[in-house]
Chains A and B, each alone.
Chain A
């Protein structure tokens, strides 16, 4: 008989355990979408709001000193005797940053939030890589920040997978420091995905503020296990001494209907407050049950929320 909240599934040991070939095939059809078009270091496969070098014509403008003469429309000059510059929509690469909370509390619940985060990060990273986006991964906990930056192209999938497999959930969250570091080491603009349960005793506000206004299109993906969403239904009952697996903090409870209702109210309020915090700062927030099928999440939910297309 399994103990309440203790993960029973075996942690993935191979890359194909993180992402199946069927899922890979499906993910080939989708791409990460940003409502903004970002300028990247290299020409990527997406349009940028910046007018630039591309095959797709956008507009004309008057020539000014210093403009590249290669883009002067000589036909118009011949007819109008004025110099006009042809402007094209520029295609840019997308910087996709995935931050994984690898604190000890993530490896809890059935299915484990951490394993779910590994698989989700693998899938999203795969999408980024195959779409020639610049993919950076960060794992953070109280032990510090573990980066894997600047991956591009499908051949880096194995490398990314190996990195993900090496991650272990341990220690506290270290969220504030991690966010500060990520925002400081940011290169360009892009989409940032934070995979965490956001249950930080020190609060998430300070950490998220580092990311606000930094040019990232930030998605806070709050992973919660079924035991956290509805502990009563998951079988929590009796007189318990609840111990925090990160800091051994204790809460003595006698599980009752009233307490469970109060817990759910508190959870909803917590998530609602996080969502409001995110929306106010132009971030996206979504709560994901760790028992949600990854296929459904990626091919359905995330498409509907506009992260993938």
Chain B
């Protein structure tokens, strides 16, 4: 039994009953009765008072009746209810919300809302199907679980076991709450008439719907009830605590293409400001923490909307030339953990297509062949000139010129060895003699980890470069390596022929070629990192020969995929947030490759954990029953009726007593 307004009833009882008893004690309304002598009565009272301090109240039927009537009145004010079970029979469809917000742990025992909803649903099923022989036909039930999409967990059945097993199968998702599909499914099983207006109408008695949700339903304003009765069980506390990462982006600064910059937007759904530590990490390794303050959310009365507080955080750019999973985490713990983490996957470094023009030796070619390139074409000088002539140099990401000097240098990205290319600003003026390297600008990506101390150059092209030409390595007799970065033209020029030095014998040569080709190949490449959301499909263009394709879910579970066409692969719907890692074996190269896809919640509907107490389906307003409420039978009318009967008996007894 539960009480709706216990406090009111207790206050009433406390206000009325003690005064009644007190009145009986202090000033019992007594009739005066003259008698011959009070001597014997006095003795009797003294005897009884000695025996029982409450003798005045004992067997005082009037007081007893009045007390009983008052107690019943107080009880009826407390509005007692008993769980009546499902008395209707017929068809019932249980709609259970297993969206992201149902993962919130703002419950008394810290378990997720969904677990409470499942507990109540189990109770309801038990109550409905455990009524014994006299319970009558309990009817059939169906269970639909819904988040961003709906699925039937149990079809119409009257088997308690089947229904309970179906409830056990319901798993939390990280999707948004959309009820439309669930209602459509429910109606599909209960309606089969389409009227002249094109509206589906229920046949016979429409099913009873029972909704187990927190009421944060994104598409609620588009829904109406079509004659169904709906009971809404609301789950969650009145003042949940949640700060969510609402958006995140990763960009590469134009000037420093190997760097990335991380932005995140945080929203505060609480009614007080909060301070959060926000951490950024790369492939699971924390790189930095920023502390930000987020203003309180407020309720806009005019719009009838809760507007959360919002603040952004920008992390200092850091170098990340390779592909990685960037994660931003709000370290403040709250009631919903899954929107405290957002991830973005930077695509892996693009495989470059490189052309080597007129190699004089195998040295450069060997270095290039050791790189993970998409394609390496060795062109003759003639072929290259034809490309220039047809303006097709952009077919290659990087073109390596080994002492070949074209007539013009079209826009593109070049690594040039030996003779000076026809580029303004280099100002070659002859040939230099033997020189050593004195200074290296190792902050340039191409010069990273390139040790030129042991390099001895026999001859080189002497330059008098303009100011916009950056000298990356300064030799004892002139610039050894220069970089030209102009609009459309990026070039690194090594002033000597590699064979005129001992460089091929040094490891720094391989490092340099690798750095320079990677740097030139990725210049201007914008970082496109898309975030998926639960409910969407994961699509990927894998190489045509991809084999053994596996998808590793955020839970760590792997799923083997066999798409008919790997170049147009798709998987879905996505259920969980977190990194979804695709891995495959490239048949051409025989290597195992991976690609991470980030899935983030980024939903303010789900982040707002406030329980909606009343759902509006068009004109229908459905008040929510708090978790634990069931279908109850009110007992107060019975208590009141009993109270009235007692008052009548009391009246009758009073008149009998007054008649001597």
Contact = CB atoms under 8 A, between A and B. Distances in A.
Contact of A239 (B31, B40, B41, B48): B31
A222 B96 CA distance: 89
Interface residues of B, number: 29
Nearest to A240: B33
Given A251-B42, A258-B59, A263-B44, A241 B32 contact: yes
B58 A258 contact: yes
B45 A199 contact: no
A126 to B, nearest CB: 27
A257 interface: yes
Contacts of B36: 5, 105-106, 108-109, 113, 197, 199, 225, 228, 244-246
A279 interface: no
A236 B41 CA distance: 12
B658 A258 contact: no
A237 interface: yes
Nearest to A255: B657
Contacts of B38: 242-244, 249-251
A240 B31 contact: yes
Given A199-B39, A239-B29, A258 B55 contact: yes
Contacts of B41: 242, 251, 253, 263
B59 A245 contact: no
Contacts of B40: 199, 228, 263, 266-267, 270
B34 interface: yes
B35 A245 contact: yes
A201 B37 contact: yes
A282 interface: no
A254 B60 contact: yes
B47 interface: yes
Contacts of A241: 30-33
Nearest to B57: A254
Nearest to A245: B34
Contacts of A237: 657, 660
A113 B37 CA distance: 13
Nearest to B47: A262
Nearest to B43: A266
Contacts of B303: none
A262 B51 CA distance: 11
Contacts of A3: 660
A4 interface: yes
B434 interface: no
Contacts of B197: none
A9 interface: no
B30 A252 contact: yes
Contact of A244 (B35, B58, B59, B60): B35
A245 B35 CA distance: 6
A254 B56 contact: yes
B472 to A, nearest CB: 114
Nearest to B37: A199
Interface in B2-50: 28-45, 47-48
A213 interface: no
A287 interface: no
Given A258-B48, A262-B47, A4 B660 contact: yes
A58 interface: no
Contacts of A225: 36
A3 B40 CA distance: 20
Interface in A220-250: 225, 227-228, 235-246, 249-250
Contacts of A8: none
A293 B42 CA distance: 31
B35 A243 contact: yes
B655 to A, nearest CB: 11
Contact of B59 (A228, A236, A252, A256): A256
A243 B32 contact: yes
A246 B39 CA distance: 12
A72 B138 CA distance: 127
Interface in B61-102: none
A56 B658 CA distance: 69
A259 interface: yes
21 contacts: A5-B34, A5-B35, A113-B36, A197-B37, A199-B36, A199-B37, A228-B40, A237-B660, A238-B660, A239-B30, A241-B33, A243-B35, A244-B36, A246-B36, A250-B38, A254-B56, A256-B58, A256-B59, A262-B47, A266-B43, A266-B44
* Interface pairs A-B: 4 shortest CB-CB: A199-B37, A108-B36, A105-B36, A241-B30
Given A108-B35, A258-B58, 17 more contacts: A4-B35, A201-B37, A201-B39, A227-B35, A238-B658, A238-B660, A244-B36, A244-B37, A245-B34, A249-B38, A251-B42, A252-B45, A253-B41, A254-B55, A263-B40, A263-B41, A267-B40
